[in-house]
Structure formats: C-alpha cells, structure tokens
C-alpha cells in the first residue's frame, strides 16, 4: 500500500523548568540585557538542570499523541532529530519506543542541526509512503546548553533547551492537517560558519587539548545572511509546490534563531510580521526543537481555523534547510 496524503494531526512541546534570564546570562560574561534583546529578541531561555533531554522528548511526544488521539502502540515509526542526545546509544527514538510502549515502531535518530524537524518530517513522509505506514511520531529535541562555549559571548546568549513533537498520519481519510508540500536542502559550509565538534575523550595513547571540547563555533554574520536568503527561497519553493501564494498562508513558523532574521524574511517577502509566529523571546534558539515548539504554541495560541494554511521553515548547521506547508 502507498499512502498518497500525509497529515499533521497532533503537536506537543516540553521545556526544562529552569528559566535563565538575560540578567542571569550577564553573570557569565561581558554582555547586557539591552544587547541581547536588541540584537536577538531573546529575553530568557530554558536550560536543563537535572532533567534528561530524552524525558522532555517523551513529554512532548505524549502531548502530541494525546492531541492526535493515537496510542503509542499504534505508531509505526519514531524519528527524533537531535545532535545533543542524552545517550548516543540507545538513541532517543529507541528510548521513546521502549519506554512509551511503541512496540511495533521502527525508531531512529537523525542529525540535521536546527533543520532537524523539517528533515524528520520529510524522511517520515518518504518512509510512510514507501512502506504504507499509518502513524509516525516526529520529534525535534536539543540541549545546546551542553555544547555552548561559555567563553564566547557572541553565542552563549543565544541557545536554550527543549523538545517539540508532531504526529503524522498517512491515512487518506484523515481530513485535518494535510501536508501540501515539504522540502529539504543542503549547502556546503565551506567557511565553517557553524560548527560543533564531535566528542573526543582521548585514549591511553593520546590526550586531546581543551580546545578539542565539543562546543559551538559560529560566524554569526554569515549564518544570519544564509538564513535570510534560504528562508525566503524555501518559502517561495513551498508555495509553488503547494500551488498556493504566500499571501494565502495564515501563519509562518520559522526557526526561532533570532527575531531579526524573522523580521528580515517578512520584510523581504513584504508579508505582515503579525503572521510570523515568534517565541524566541521566551526560549531562545532551541535548535531542532525550535520549529515544533513554536508550531505547538502557535496552534494553541492562534487557533488557526480548519482550512487555513501554515508554513514551516528552518535552517541550520550543515548547512541545512527545510520546511513544509500544511492545511489545518
Ligand atoms: N554582548 C555584548 N556585545 C556583544 C555580544 C554580546 N553577547 N556578542 C557580540 N558583541 C559585540 C561584538 O564584539 C561586536 O562589537 P564591536 O562592534 O566592538 O566589534 C558587536 O557586538 C557586534 O557583533 P556582531 O557579531 O556584528 O553582532 P550581530 O549584530 O551580527 O549579532 C548574532 C550577532 C546575534 C550572533 C547574529 O549574527 C545572529 O543571530 N546570527 C545568526 C545566528 C543563527 O541564526 N544561528 C542559527 C543556527 S544555530 C544552529 O544551527 C546550531
């Protein structure tokens, strides 16, 4: 059986309890609430302090499954997008499968940095279509606080931790949430503008230096330029593929990396900024979790009506980018 239509039928989100305000961040290094707010729009973010990221992923997953009215046992597929997993093995998707009772699901993680949720949607759609799977759970979960370079003020102000989830249904008869188009793209990061080195614990024969710690390095200006260009391209591509105009889209949910990037994109496309959902002020850049957390919050707060269009767009390390458009 091949599923031709795919639907988003439930969303969920979970963030750590601990709120880290800009005031808290000023105690780490030479920065200010005024600089962070005016350059990024971020006022606070959440950071793990005792919780495990995989348990946040589970909380987000439970909420999405409840909203979709689907039991974990009915899931055919679980994909978690993360590059900061609690454990490398078992991976986060396997952890969810075994602890949520998703007995028959195929489960695996992917890493596409901040574009991870868009990639997980695209991969899930493809697998569901080929194998005739009915129900999939896709999750974006990241804890960039654990790979932050706390000596680099241009990046330590930006990141937060969290998880967001969505349930995809491949049943032709599902009437809500039909995905009209999705896309992903890769670009060579020749200038190493966004980098998180892998782990290197050393061996009895070689001790890595401190500079080899697994931390974020970013050329903010280059990533900013990439983000504004690629988001515009992706949004135009999605509209064309879905045979809709951007004017017809009620809500745009972009990667919440920096409020100014979202403002730029809205300005370039001459679209009203009110249609761009923003929660970067509360959560900062939560990487793969950013789009699904924002999507969930947008669905709860804005309550789009049946038939309205929602567009998602993300960009991140790799360099990667992707998005989707669906009809509520
Ligand atoms: N507090 C105070 N001053 C600062 C800080 C800080 N935290 N950080 C930098 N500055 C200073 C700089 O030293 C510089 O000072 P100077 O003019 O005296 O040299 C000045 O502020 C301007 O610095 P810029 O780097 O030019 O600041 P910019 O306006 O470009 O903002 C930022 C930096 C916020 C990082 C921006 O470039 C950005 O958001 N880039 C995109 C990042 C992004 O989207 N990442 C997403 C992907 S993340 C992922 O996939 C894991």
pTM of the model: 0.95
Share of the chain above pLDDT 70, in %: 97
* Mean pLDDT across 70-77: 97
Quick: pLDDT tens for 4-49.
689 999 999 999 999 999 999 999 999 999 999 999 999 999 999 9
Asked, colleague to colleague, whether 7-176 and 179-327 share their fold, the answer is: yes
CA of 36 to the centre of ligand 1 (A): 9
> Is residue 1 very low, low, confident or very high in pLDDT (cuts 50, 70, 90)?
very low
Residue 3 pLDDT exceeds 70 = no
CB atoms under 10 Å from CB of 180, counted, come to 18
Task: Estimate the share of the chain in helix, then strand, then coil, as percent rounded to the nearest 5.
Answer: 40, 25, 35
pLDDT at 167 exceeding the cut of 80: yes
- What is the C-alpha to C-alpha distance for residues 62 and 33, in angstroms, rounded to an integer? 35
* CA atoms of 179 and 233, how far apart (whole Å): 19
Mean pLDDT of the chain: 95
pLDDT greater at residue 199 or residue 125: 125
- Confidence bin at 202 (pLDDT 50/70/90): confident
Let me know if 114 is a catalytic residue. yes
Q: Ligand 1, from 149, 189, 197, 220: best to mutate by most atoms within 8 Å of Cβ?
A: 220
Q: Which of 55, 201, 214 is nearest to 145 (CA)?
A: 214
265-307 per-position pLDDT tens digit: 999 999 999 999 999 999 999 999 999 999 999 999 999 999 9
> Where residue 201 falls among pLDDT bands split at 50, 70, 90?
confident
How far apart are the C-alpha atoms of 24 and 26, rounded to whole Å?
Answer: 5
- Report the nearest-CA residue for atom 37 of ligand 1: 220
Catalytic one of 3, 169, 255, 279 = 255
Residues with CB under 6 A from ligand 1: 31, 35, 39-40, 113-114, 153-154, 157, 194, 220-221, 223-224, 227, 257-258, 261, 285, 287, 316-317
Domain ranges of the chain: 7-176, 179-327
264 is catalytic: no
Q: How far apart are CA 189 and CA 195, in angstroms?
A: 9
Most confident range, picked from 5-9, 189-193, 260-264: 260-264
Residue with tokens 């730029």: 264
Give the CA count within 13 Å in the CB-facing half-sphere of 284: 26
Class of domain 179-327: alpha beta
Q: How far is the CA of 155 from the centre of ligand 1 (A)?
A: 7
Q: Is 3.30.365.10 the CATH classification of the domain at 7-176?
A: no
DSSP string, 282-299: HH-B-GGGHHHHHHHHHH
Q: What angle do CA 68, 72, 74 make, to 5 degrees?
A: 85
What is the Cα 211 distance to its own chain's centre?
A: 28
Catalytic residue among 91, 169, 285, 296: 285
Nearest CA to ligand 1 atom 42: 220
Tell me what the mean pLDDT of segment 232-256 comes to: 98
Q: How far is it, in rounded angstroms, from Cα 115 to Cα 227? A: 11
Q: What is the mean pLDDT of residues 216-225?
A: 94
Q: Under DSSP, is residue 43 helix (H, G, I), strand (E, B) or coil?
A: coil
Confidence tier at 73 by pLDDT (50, 70, 90): very high
Residue 69 a catalytic site member: no
Residue whose CB lies within 8 A of the most ligand 1 atoms, among 39, 285, 320, for a mutation test: 39
- pLDDT for residue 173 is more than 90: no
pLDDT at residue 174 is higher than 80: no
Given its phi and psi angles, is residue 307 left (phi above 0), alpha (psi -120 to 50 degrees) or beta? Answer: left
Q: Where is pLDDT greater, at 278 or 191?
A: 278
Radius of gyration of the chain (CA): 19
Q: Which ranges of 132-172 would DSSP assign to H, the alpha helix?
A: 153-156
Task: Please name the helix (run of DSSP H) or strand (run of DSSP E) that holds residue 165, with its range, or none.
Answer: strand 161-169
């Amino acid at each position: 059986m091949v599923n031709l239509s795919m639907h988003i039928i439930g969303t969920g989100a979970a963030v750590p309890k601990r709120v880290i305000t800009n005031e808290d961040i000023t105690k780490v290094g030479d920065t200010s609430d005024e600089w962070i707010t005016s350059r990024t729009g971020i006022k606070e973010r959440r950071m793990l302090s005792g919780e495990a990221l995989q348990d946040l992923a589970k909380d987000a997953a439970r909420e999405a499954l409840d909203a979709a009215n689907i039991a974990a046992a009915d899931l055919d597929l679980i994909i978690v997008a993360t590059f900061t997993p609690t454990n490398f093995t078992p991976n986060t998707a396997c952890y969810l499968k075994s602890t949520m009772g998703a007995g028959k699901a195929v489960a695996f993680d992917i890493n596409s940095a901040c574009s991870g949720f868009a990639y997980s949607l695209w991969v899930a759609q493809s697998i569901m279509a080929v194998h005739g799977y009915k129900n999939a759970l896709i999750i974006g979960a990241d804890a960039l606080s654990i790979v932050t370079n706390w000596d680099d003020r241009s990046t330590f102000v930006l990141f937060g931790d969290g998880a967001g989830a969505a349930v995809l249904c491949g049943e032709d008869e599902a009437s809500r949430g039909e995905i009209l188009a999705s896309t992903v793209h890769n670009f060579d990061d020749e200038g190493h503008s966004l980098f998180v080195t892998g782990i290197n614990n050393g061996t009895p024969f070689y001790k890595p230096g401190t500079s080899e710690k697994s931390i974020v390095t970013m050329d903010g200006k280059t990533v900013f330029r990439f983000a504004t260009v690629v988001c515009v391209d992706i949004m135009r591509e999605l509209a064309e593929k879905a045979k809709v105009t951007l004017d017809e889209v009620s809500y745009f949910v972009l990667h919440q990396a920096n409020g100014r990037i979202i403002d730029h994109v809205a300005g370039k496309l001459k679209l009203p900024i009110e249609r761009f959902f923003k929660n970067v002020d509360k959560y900062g850049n939560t990487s793969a979790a950013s789009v699904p957390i924002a999507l969930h919050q947008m669905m709860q707060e804005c309550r789009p009506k049946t038939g309205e269009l929602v567009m998602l767009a993300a960009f991140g390390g790799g360099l990667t980018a992707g998005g989707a458009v669906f009809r509520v």
